[in-house]
Amino acid sequence: MSKILNNIKLYFSFLQASLKEMLVYRLDFIVGIISQIITQAVEVIFIFIVFQNTENLAGWSFKQVLLLYGITLISVGIKTFCTDGLYEFGPKYIKEGEFDKILLRPVHPLISIFGSTKEFVAMGYLVLGIAITIMMLIELSIPITVVLILKILFFSIIGAIIISAINTIFSIASFWTYRSNEVIWSFDRIYTLAQYPLDIYSAVIKILITFILPFAFVAYYPTMSYLGMNKYMIYISPIVAVILWIIAVKVWNLALNKYRSTGS
């Protein structure tokens, strides 16, 4: 247990170091955040257009879908902020041989990789997500209590943990190809499916995002709980997160053992 805690502590000090590096380029940072918000605008515009053509989508109102969107964005923001260093893994660490350096550190290499995250543009996601969530909670007249805030905070972090576990599993592609970021990105993007009520999808997709790549537990079931639609599924989320991480670490270590450096 203390080993895990130690790893987590080191992770935060790595993260702090990269944040300082990032702030050197302040202008790029701001441009990054603005462009991030514009990307999200594309999605919001689609939701707007959809609800000009219908009153509800599989029983969900406009505001409810926006709340789901906001909650998803918070999780994605946390994930992007904390673990998107994974995207550098193939192109930077493996290709340029930097990975060997990391292997010599007395921590698990994943910690070093997560800690090198420079995606601080994720702030854009977070700000937008929190803003939309708060607005929609007020619009839907859901009382914002301390309990609810803590619940949203806790399950958003759980959501981020679920997405990052899935990314970690697919990041093992880096051991075979340098272009792993495209592999991770492809599967990462499936979360966008869970931004809409699952009932609109065919059975295949429902099964895919509930059981195989359980993105539905990131924000969909938690949002159902906040809306009072489904009280119990939300509590499965932490279990899903733990199981996924056990799989992720196992798979990752397995791949690591087979790894041979580019150098020798």
Partner 1 sequence: MQFRHYTIYKSNFWLFTFNRIIEVVVYISVWKAIYNQTGDAGGFTINQMVTYYVLVTTIKSFALWGTNEDMAHSIRNGKINKELLNPLTYFEYYFGINLGEMAFAFVIGFATFIICSLIWGITLPINFANFLLAILVIILGIPVTFFIQMIVGTVGFYSSSIWGMQIFRKSIISIFSGVIAPITLFPNWFQNLSKILPFKELIYTPVNIWLGQVQTSEIIFVIIKQILWGIFLYIIAKVFFNHAIKKITINGG
Are 90 and 174 in contact, with CB atoms under 8 Å apart? yes
Should residue 166 be labelled a site residue for partner 1 when binding is judged by CB under 8 A?
A: no
Q: Taking the alpha carbons of 33, 36, 40, 45 in that order, is the dihedral positive or negative?
A: positive
Question: Does 241 sit near partner 1 (CB under 8 A)?
Answer: no
Binding-site member from 38, 103, 148, 254 for partner 1 (CB under 8 A):
38
Would you give the binding string for partner 1 spanning residues 176-205, x where CB under 8 A is met? -x-x--xx-xx--xx-xx-xx--xxxx--x
Nearer to partner 1, 95 or 151 (CB): 95
The CA distance from 132 to 139, in Å, is 10
Instruction: Please tell me whether residue 52 binds partner 1 under the rule CB under 8 A.
Output: yes
18 counts as binding partner 1 under rule CB under 8 A: no
Q: Hey, what are 38's tokens?
A: 């514009």
54 counts as binding partner 1 under rule CB under 8 A: yes
213 torsion bin: left (phi>0), alpha (psi -120 to 50), beta (else): beta
Which segments of 16-130 are extended strands (E)? 56-57, 60-61
> Is residue 96 at the binding interface for partner 1, with CB under 8 A as the rule?
no
Contact (Cβ atoms closer than 8 angstroms) between residue 70 and residue 127 = no
Binding site for partner 1 (CB under 8 A): 25, 27-28, 31-32, 34-36, 38-39, 41-42, 45-46, 49-50, 52-54, 56-58, 177, 179, 182-183, 185-186, 189-190, 192-193, 195-196, 199-202, 205
